[in-house]
Amino acid sequence: MDFISTRDKSNLISGSKAIIEGIAEDGGLFVPRIIPKIDKIESLKNMDYKEIAYKIMSKFLDDFNLEILKESIDKAYDDKFSKKEICSLVDFGELYFLELFHGPTFAFKDMALSILPYLLKQSMEANEEDKEILILTATSGDTGKAALENFANVEGIKIIVFFPEDGVSEIQKLQMRTQEGDNTFVVSINGNFDDAQNGVKEIFNDKEFIEELNEENYKLSSANSINIGRLIPQIVYYFYTYGKLLGDGKIKDGEKINFVVPTGNFGNILAGYYSKKMGLPINKLICASNDNNVLTKFINTGIYDRRKKLALTSSPSMDILISSNLERLLYHLSGGNDLLIKDLMIKLERDGVYELENLDIKDFKGYYANEEEVSESIKKVFEEKDYLMDPHTAVAYSAYEKYRKESKDPRKTVIISTASPFKFPSKIESSLENKIEDKNEFEIINKLGKISKQEIPENIKNLKDKDILHKTKCEKEDIKDIIRDFLLKDEKND
């Protein structure tokens, strides 16, 4: 299986190399040259998460040693996850919630980041890469913690995470700043997520700086969802869900279902699109956005316009105006028109806007929810179904209601539930009570735990007693210097 750049089809590399590189030299993202097919969907109903993971991932990563891939899957999806099934499907009749937050950091990022270190290690060995890997990651909250947790103390790898000072929740901030592990560094950037993501992207395009790092024996890589090693493991849970519904007798073989995906960087929902192209019976992929609704507009009009102010919402992991992975979808939808993609991405950077005429995007629907609608959804679902949703999931629920109302589509629908409600206590409390009291986050968490009968994860409860280990702040112009400082300081410590 070859991977090619969305901006230059002739740039063709293996899966393991694509995982090491993260992003193509021409600025494009790697995509599979051919999307593989999965047959005998019905057999999924007898398979557990790990077996499905192997079935899917081995199709894409055929240059890997498959025995080792299997071992990696075993190690990644172990009792770090609080559910034996790895994710759980909560059944409310025609509506389901697929909970992807039972991993070590309580957000869906664990689904892929628990295995990425193994994939990266294996890729380095396969390519005889003897440099030390330096992972640079910009985070809107959840990627950062999940990457730190999963890469902590992995030999031969260092990781630096940049988060926007004002763009993540208090719990997310605490989770990152208390991270242990000698190879981990956390920096808050004065700016928003797009600033952080662009700052990090610039480093990946800075040949001179990359050369400087090479001379110090470092090889840059990325844990963001631009890395194909993040996307492939995310395809697994779409197949798992279908198998589970089949096994439980909730759907018939071949019956089409919908997925609603709370979307930021378009990684999760793109994995859903790949699943559909691989043969999974999916009707619509419903793209749910918050007030940063550039994708809603794009899906409905073909115009992508990022020329607005980023709104800071209660779903910070979706506070994004430049959804990187959309580039991959455009590549596939355009039939592999790399020149067109390059042109659009230049326009986006230069003008902040592009328009695609004759956009055929019928696999998708796009809706968004404002803060008030998110609050209403949290309250409604708690009162009617006794179920607490985090604000990201609540955005998806709001989109689901809008879709149902508009389409009258009776098909079974799965809402992807991306974070534990206990990561975002304040918004939930204010939604339920209709008032904001001046209480600390941990008191609110305890209270929510009591009223909901949902279990508060230990590692959220004990955050308040942990030491803050990372205090560095920087301006986005200083990213390079910060990296130099860390690497230098670290050598002196050795």
Ligand X SMILES: *Cc1c(COP(=O)(O)O)cnc(C)c1O
List residues with catalytic annotation. 109
Can you list the alpha helix ranges (DSSP code H) found in 361-478? 371-385, 391-407, 425-433, 441-452, 458-461
Least Å distance between CB 249 and ligand X? 30
- Residues 357-416, interacting with ligand X (CB under 6 A): 392
Task: Tell me whether residue 14 or residue 375 sits nearer to ligand X (CB atom).
Answer: 375
Least Å distance between CB 396 and ligand X? 9
Is residue 264 near ligand X by the rule CB under 6 A? yes
DSSP character for 456?
P
Least Å distance between CB 162 and ligand X? 15
Binds ligand X by CB under 6 A, chosen from 265, 289, 313, 375: 265
Least Å distance between CB 280 and ligand X? 18
Task: Tell me whether residue 14 or residue 225 sits nearer to ligand X (CB atom).
Answer: 225
- Site for ligand X (CB under 6 A): how many residues? 17
* DSSP SS3 for 465: helix
In the shown chain, the binding pattern of residues 60 to 89 toward ligand X, with x for contact by CB under 6 A and - for none, equals: ------------------------------
Task: Tell me whether residue 27 or residue 262 sits nearer to ligand X (CB atom).
Answer: 262
Q: Structure tokens of 33? A: 């040259």
Task: Tell me whether residue 283 or residue 418 sits nearer to ligand X (CB atom).
Answer: 418
How far apart, in whole angstroms, are the C-alpha atoms of residue 290 and residue 281? Answer: 27
Q: HSE on the CB side for 290, CA within 13 Å? A: 25
Is residue 193 near ligand X by the rule CB under 6 A? no
How far apart, in whole angstroms, are the C-alpha atoms of residue 147 and residue 38? Answer: 29
Binds ligand X by CB under 6 A, chosen from 185, 266, 368, 403: 266
How far apart, in whole angstroms, are the C-alpha atoms of residue 329 and residue 31? Answer: 9
In the shown chain, the binding pattern of residues 442 to 471 toward ligand X, with x for contact by CB under 6 A and - for none, equals: ------------------------------
Kind of pairing between the strands at 132-138 and 473-474: unpaired
Is residue 418 near ligand X by the rule CB under 6 A? yes
Least Å distance between CB 21 and ligand X? 20
* DSSP SS3 for 285: strand
The label of the residue with tokens 């662009």 reads 198
Interacting residues of 208 by C-beta distance below 8 A, sequence separation 6+: none
The label of the residue with tokens 């995906």 reads 261
- Residues 101-140, interacting with ligand X (CB under 6 A): 107-109
Binds ligand X by CB under 6 A, chosen from 144, 167, 229, 262: 262
- Least Cα distance to 457 among 443, 446, 469, 470 occurs for 446
- Residues 293-322, interacting with ligand X (CB under 6 A): 317-318
Task: Tell me whether residue 143 or residue 430 sits nearer to ligand X (CB atom).
Answer: 143
* DSSP SS3 for 202: helix
Task: Tell me whether residue 267 or residue 425 sits nearer to ligand X (CB atom).
Answer: 267
The distance between the two most distant Cα atoms of the chain, rounded to a whole number of Å, is 64
Kind of pairing between the strands at 257-262 and 218-222: unpaired
Least Å distance between CB 142 and ligand X? 3
Kind of pairing between the strands at 2-5 and 30-32: antiparallel
Kind of pairing between the strands at 282-289 and 184-189: unpaired
Binding region for ligand X (CB under 6 A): 107-109, 142, 225, 262-268, 317-318, 392, 418-419
